[in-house]
Amino acid sequence: MRKSVKALIVTFLVGFIGIYLGAFLNLEGYLGVILSVATMGYFIISAIEDICNK
């Protein structure tokens, strides 16, 4: 599986879980957005590290 597809799937799942977890904690879905951005940030940093380590 390509890294971009993996990043898309993982980001979607984390965001989806975060929306429900945020609703449970009365954060009105903000937690899903925060977790999605953090997850995508991880994949971006990981890709930059892969490029720099070549």
Question: pLDDT tens across 2-52, in order?
Answer: 888 889 999 999 999 999 988 888 887 788 889 999 999 999 999 999 999
Cβ neighbours of 35 (radius 10 Å): 20
Nearest to 43 by CA among 7, 19, 13: 7
pTM for the full model? 0.79
Cβ neighbours of 36 (radius 10 Å): 20
The one-letter amino acid code at 11 reads T
The one-letter amino acid code at 32 reads G
The one-letter amino acid code at 31 reads L
